[in-house]
Structures are given as C-alpha cells and as structure tokens.
Amino acid sequence: MKYIPVVIFAMLIWSNAISAQQNRDPWSNGELMEPSVLASRISQGKANNMLILAVGPDALIKGSADIGEAHEQSNLKKLKNYLKNVPKDKEVVIYCGCCPFDRCPNVRPAFRALKEMGFKNPKLLNLPKNIKANWLDKNYPSN
Amino acid sequence: MKKIFLFFLIILFTENLFAQNNEIKAGNPAPEIALPAPDGQIITLSSLKGKLVLIDFWASWCPPCVKEQPELNALYEKQSKNVKAGKFEILGVSIDKNKENWEKAIKRFKIPWPQVSDLKFWKSPVTSDYGIEDLPFNVIVDEQGIIVAINLHGKKLEDFIDHYLDK
C-alpha cells in the first residue's frame, strides 16, 4: 500500500517523458522511411509518383528538389509555396542529413509544415547519422 | 610458384602498411588538406608544418559547432603569443555547402584563423579522408604533421594545447 504514491509518481514522470518525446518529434515511427526502401524505389524508377524534398544544406539524393534549410523562415515559406498545389494524398518524403535527428534544426519545422498543410502521407527519411553515412557511403542514387 | 607467393605476400604487407597509415589515430600522419579559403586561395595543411595545428571540422549549419566557435576564439586569444611565434595555428575546415552562410558565420564569430572549404557538404572528400562521422570533430597535428590527439573539446582541449605548448 505504501508503494502506491511511488508508483503514481513514477507513472507521472513516465507519461511526462512520453509527452515530451511526442512534443519534440512531429513524426511517428510509421512515418519514417528507410533509406534502403527509397534507394531501391529510385533505382527501379518507381519514385516518379512521389516528391523528394531536401530541407537541409544540399539536395544530394537523386531527383530531389532543393528547398534549403527549413529552420530559416524564408525556406519554410519556399517549402509551403512548393507544396501549395500538390495534391494532399501525394507521398512526400523530406530529408536533411546534416546530423542526427536530435540536433537537426530542419526536419521538425519542415515535417510540421507538411502536417499543418494536411498532407496525408508525409514521410521523413530515416538518416540516423547523416547523409554521408546513411546514403552516400552506401552508394545509393545521388545527384 | 615461390616467387608468386612472395609477390602476393609483399602486396599484402604493403597494403596493410598503407591502410594503417591512412587510419585517423594518434601516431599516424594526418592526411593532406588542400582546399580553398573564402577568397579562393588554396591553403594546405602541409604549409603549416612546424606548428601545432588544431584542425577544426565544422559547418555553419551545425549548431554545436557554431556554439564552439567562441570557445575556440578564446583559446586562440589565450595562445596569441604562440600563434605570433609560429608555434600554434587553428585550421578551420568547413563542411558547408552555401558560401554565403559560411562567410556569414566566419564574420559573425570574428574567426581570425585560416578557413577552408570545398563547399561540398558531406560529399567533400575531406570527410572520408578523416573518417568524419559527426560534427564537431577535430584533430590535433604536431610540428611534423603527425596526429597527436583526436576530438578533444572544452577543458580537455584547452588543457592539451596548454600542456603541449608549455613543454
């Protein structure tokens, strides 16, 4: 019985931690796309029905459009303009690749913008280290 | 047959030697860097031989690297006598893509040491040469161009430089 306050306290901390995590990352695990999946779609010519947008320092992935670093307001505006007339059910994949997600200033504002604009199928390319380690070094299709 | 065997043995041995020398670790020679400064002039690491050199790999898009620049500036200021005496130098190698952002960051932090970049982001060959997986990253190279320390930051970096130059 005397453990009940401890358990409640622990649960409170746990739920806080979870909500903090959710606040930080606007994407779910299901919205992460593995680089190998995107690479094979590009190689097989099956990426034509999707939009690949670079929201970091450079558009290194083959066929991707260079929006610019999304932490800058002007580039975020550019992203929204770019997507203005795109159907909301279009598969849109964004990537940055400067650094691990916890330090990347670009993926969160860009992904949030996709959600706010009502895109039903937004994806974030899962580059846990950077575009070099998780894409270029694997010889995936590059510009 | 013996000759062929010997030939392969020699190739294996020299390849091994080569691979070991390319590895970024203390005691190995630092790979040459020959990249343009913002004004286009090529600066080489080998031109800094005779000095203790801190190679700072950074980028204007990398928040922790940018945060470190005032600390490096303080370190540079503290070592100004050694800089003037030709005993110490910092070489900033940027992994930037956008020249304007790079130059803005140099100006903003009033960085006085030489800065180079090929503006190729993670595609820059220097990132492979130095096996860089994450930024900020640094390598300290001695007067002969041999790596003496890797990825020291904050107090550890300051103490290492102080201690080395006090010798």
Query: What ipTM does this complex have?
Result: 0.79
Residues of A with Cβ-Cβ distance to B132 under 8 angstroms: 132
What are the residue boundaries of the structural domains of chain B, listed by start?
Answer: 2-166
CATH superfamily of this structure's domain B2-166: Glutaredoxin (3.40.30.10)
Interface test with B, best of A74, A101, A102, A132 (most B CBs within 10 A): A132
B-contacting residues of A 69-108, CB under 8 Å? 69, 97-100, 103, 105
B62–A98 CB contact, under 8 Å: yes
- Coil vs helix vs strand at B40: coil
- Coil vs helix vs strand at B91: strand
> How much is the average pLDDT of B139-160?
98
Mean pLDDT, all residues of chain A: 90
**Residues 6 or more apart whose Cβ sits within 8 Å of residue B109:** B66, B69, B70, B73
Note the pLDDT of residue B8. 57
Residues of A with Cβ-Cβ distance to B99 under 8 angstroms: none
Residue in B with minimal Cα distance to A58: B97
B123–A69 CB contact, under 8 Å: no
Residue in B with minimal Cα distance to A68: B98
| Dihedral over alpha carbons B62, B44, B123, B66 (to 10 degrees) | 0
Architecture in CATH for domain A28-138:
3-Layer(aba) Sandwich (3.40)
B121–A99 CB contact, under 8 Å: no
Provide the pLDDT confidence category of residue B4 given band limits of 50, 70 and 90: low
User: How far is A33 from A51, CA to CA, in rounded Å?
Assistant: 13
Task: Report the percentage of chain B scoring pLDDT > 70.
Answer: 87
Provide the pLDDT confidence category of residue A2 given band limits of 50, 70 and 90: low
Render pLDDT for B19-41 as a digit per residue (tens, 0 to 9): 446 799 999 999 999 999 999 99
A60 contact B CB<8A: yes
Contact A51, A89 (CB under 8 A): no
Contact A133, A99 (CB under 8 A): no
Note the pLDDT of residue A24. 72
Note the pLDDT of residue B17. 47
CA of B62, closest CA in chain A: separation in Å?
Answer: 7
Render pLDDT for A7-53 as a digit per residue (tens, 0 to 9): 666 665 565 555 445 457 999 999 999 999 999 999 999 999 999 99
Contact B91, B114 (CB under 8 A): yes
What are the residue boundaries of the structural domains of chain A, listed by start?
Answer: 28-138
> How much is the average pLDDT of B107-124?
97
User: How far is B97 from A60, CA to CA, in rounded Å?
Assistant: 11
> How much is the average pLDDT of B71-80?
98
> How much is the average pLDDT of B52-68?
96
Provide the pLDDT confidence category of residue B149 given band limits of 50, 70 and 90: very high
B134–A129 CB contact, under 8 Å: yes
User: How far is A41 from A59, CA to CA, in rounded Å?
Assistant: 17
Residues of B with Cβ-Cβ distance to A136 under 8 angstroms: 122-123
Note the pLDDT of residue A93. 98
Task: Report the percentage of chain A scoring pLDDT > 90.
Answer: 82
pLDDT of B15 over the 60 cut = no
pLDDT of B116 over the 70 cut = yes
pLDDT of A85 over the 60 cut = yes
User: How far is B142 from A60, CA to CA, in rounded Å?
Assistant: 35
Mean pLDDT, all residues of chain B: 92
Note the pLDDT of residue B115. 98
pLDDT of B109 over the 50 cut = yes
As a whole number of angstroms, the longest Cα–Cα distance in chain B is 66
Note the pLDDT of residue B18. 47
If one compares B6 and A95, the residue with the highest pLDDT of the two is: A95
Q: Which of A60, A54, A48 is nearest to A90 (CA)?
A: A48
Render pLDDT for B129-146 as a digit per residue (tens, 0 to 9): 999 999 999 999 999 999
B122–A130 CB contact, under 8 Å: yes
Interface test with A, best of B57, B58, B61, B102 (most A CBs within 10 A): B61
Cβ contacts below 8 Å, chain A against chain B, sum to 44
A-contacting residues of B 59-78, CB under 8 Å? 59, 61-64
Which helix (DSSP H) or strand (DSSP E) does residue B66 occupy? Answer: helix B63-78
pLDDT of B6 over the 70 cut = no
**Continuous H helices in chain A:** 4-24, 35-43, 73-83, 107-116, 131-134
